[in-house]
Amino acid sequence: MHVFRLKVRRAPDARNQQRVFVWGSEGATTPLPAKSPLLSVRVDDDGEPLELIAVGPGETSLAKLRPGEGYTVELAGHRGVCAIANQDTFVTCILHEVGA
């Protein structure tokens, strides 16, 4: 298990939403294989709402989270998970080993 916390920054221009990768990156080109970790993301209690999006192939909206809410996603088949927020906020992420 690996735990990390990061800041999701709002877009400087409200008309352009900025994606912040909480796992993976824009440069990742190969989706993860079937036996991949799980990723749990939780918005801080005093945070701001955000949307989680799975990337690759294509983009899929996973969840719209409010402060204190969390979501767990299987990373298999994805090359990244990103967040979009209208205000700066912090999230805590946990990578869970499959079968551990």
pLDDT tens digit string along 74-91? 999 999 999 999 899 999
Domain limits, the chain:
2-96
User: Which pLDDT belongs to residue 31?
Assistant: 83
User: Which pLDDT belongs to residue 100?
Assistant: 57
User: Which pLDDT belongs to residue 56?
Assistant: 82
Q: What residue ranges of the chain have pLDDT lower than 70?
A: 11-17, 100
Q: Where are the alpha helices (DSSP H) in the chain?
A: none
User: Which pLDDT belongs to residue 16?
Assistant: 57
75 touches 32 (CB < 8 A): yes
Superfamily of domain 2-96: Jelly Rolls (2.60.120.10)
pTM of the predicted model, to two decimals? 0.88
